[in-house]
Amino acid sequence: MLVLERRAIPGGAVVTEDDLFPGYHVDTCSTFHILIHTTPIVQELELKRFGLEYLEMDPFAFAPFPDGSCIHFYRDLDRTCNEIARLSPRDAEAYRAFVQLWLPFNRAVFATFLAPPSPGPMLRSILWHERSRLRSLIGLGKSTDLLRVIMASYGQVVREHFADERLRGALAWLAAQSGTGPDDPGGGEMLAWQAIYHDIGVWRPRGGSGMLTQALVRCLEHYGGQVLTAAEVVQIQVENQRACGVILRDGRQFAASCIVANAHVQTTLLDLVPPDQLPASLRHRLQHLRIANGVGMTVRCITDDLPRYGLTPYAPSTNVERGKVPEPAHSGMQLLCPSLKHLARAYYQYRLGQTPDCPAVLAMTPTATDPSLAPPGKHLLYLWAQYHPYRLANGQSWDDIREREAQKLLDVVATYAPNIKDAVRGIYIKSPVDLERIGGLRQGHIMHLDMTLDQMFMFRPLPELAQYRTPIAGLYLTGAGTHPGGGVSGAPGYNTAHIVLRDLARSRRQRPWLAFHRTSPES
């Protein structure tokens, strides 16, 4: 097996880079890994043998507010509800009920992520996986509530279920990580999915997000596979409607009887496959897949200090300056979004093609739990912010405004942690345009395609492509543009691998000579 990677480092959006700042190991895209822990991938591939070690982030989220209050979100539901009760006892009970309602349903839905999406099997899987709990919900008349939340926007759901604007802002900002807007229909499920955090927790690999990719590379090489980096594919070769190889930008060619493409579905089928090899109607539909006008931007900072939020109990210590010792707040996602109205305003400006005056920011401080990522006494601060359009209004260029917009993100952090501006010693910026240039994320969309109901499950990316096969024999799709979508889950690859193995077994039964056919050493 041969893996071809366009960049000099394997992993796509799951990479940790060592050459940005000497002595630092920086995640330049994904950071936290959640959905992969709903799959058997780590165990089945024995990735621990290949150097992968996960650290749990608990609390998994922390939300400070301008009035000095805050919420820690722990994996333990009771502990989280006690936190919320300090703001609103009513909302604490509402949050408990919301999680308890959605957790069995989400477990059942996530079980369907490990199979190609088909309406019948998916429904049977959901009903079987949590049949007793779901029957009780139906008996209680809750099934209509479940359906209604799925169809609603997450903004509507938080307004209906929770009264405190601070809690609304924190929960909405968590739901917004899928890229959908607070009032986009069908986004309610993104809020409901948060119940799974209390079931499986939030994790990150020791040594950085890219340690997952490195473990996969070592696993592949252990079993005789090979990874070539700086190997950009510019064409998928097709003969007699069957994929037969690829051509690289440097002119090298590799023969293959089976190709699995993890690139964006439009890149694969519109750019790499010769136009005459696909029906015109399919190319037209592919051209009109819905990809939002960007989602957000990211800034990576090296710092002399952690953000001193000053709002939480600090780790017990003596003769240690506040902020130098990690707090519970530094463990997971730091939600810098004071209200749902704040998030909605940022989204409104984004829809006009404008960058937000005051973006919602997700801050992360991985060195608080993994000091190996930086030199002794130094830290990393990761910032992700929304919403930032890929195409800007008024003829603006991201190359002209990227530093200005990065400063806005730091200004938001400084609102809650005034020490941070003086602590920053270097920054690395990825605008929506940079996300496309560097990572191949078309229009800077981190999920490849919008994560809305009409582009999920058996509709992702299109109904005729939802089984990971293409009209070209031997060419398969995988990645965030296929079921079950974006996020570090591994589920698209898991599903595609099973489809490929099934098709290969069928071919060998039909044509036994294939089992003995020696392919090119480069295939």
Tell me the per-residue pLDDT of 90-133, one tens digit each, with 9 for 90 and over. Answer: 999 999 999 998 898 888 888 888 888 876 665 555 555 555 55
Give me the residue label for tokens 């592919």: 286
The residue extents of the domains of the chain are 76-200
pLDDT of amino acid 151: 85
pLDDT of residue 189: 84
Q: What 3-state class would DSSP assign to 394?
A: helix
Residues of the chain with confidence (pLDDT) below 70 = 119-144, 311-325, 510-523
pLDDT at 517: 36
Q: What is the pLDDT of residue 121?
A: 60
Q: Which two tokens stand for residue 454?
A: 């009409």
Cis peptide bond upstream of 366, omega within 30: no
Distance CA 431, CA 433 (A): 5
Amino acid letter, 477: L
Distance in angstroms (rounded) separating the CA atoms of residues 451 and 463: 15
**What is the β-pairing status of strands 475-477 and 70-73?**
unpaired
Measure the CA–CA gap between 321 and 42, rounded to whole angstroms. Answer: 40
Is 200 exposed, middle or buried (CB count within 10 Å of its CB: 0-12, 13-18, 19+)?
A: middle
Partners of 428 in beta bridges? 300
Q: E strands along 177-295, which residues?
A: 203-205, 226-228, 233-239, 242-248, 253-255, 259-261
Q: What is the pLDDT of residue 510?
A: 65
Cα–Cα distance, 92 to 86 (Å, whole number):
9
Q: What is the pLDDT, as a whole number, of residue 315?
A: 36
Secondary structure (DSSP) of 58-104: SS-EEEE-TTS-EEEE-SSHHHHHHHHHTT-HHHHHHHHHHHHHHHH
Contact present, 361 and 383 (Cβ < 8 Å): yes
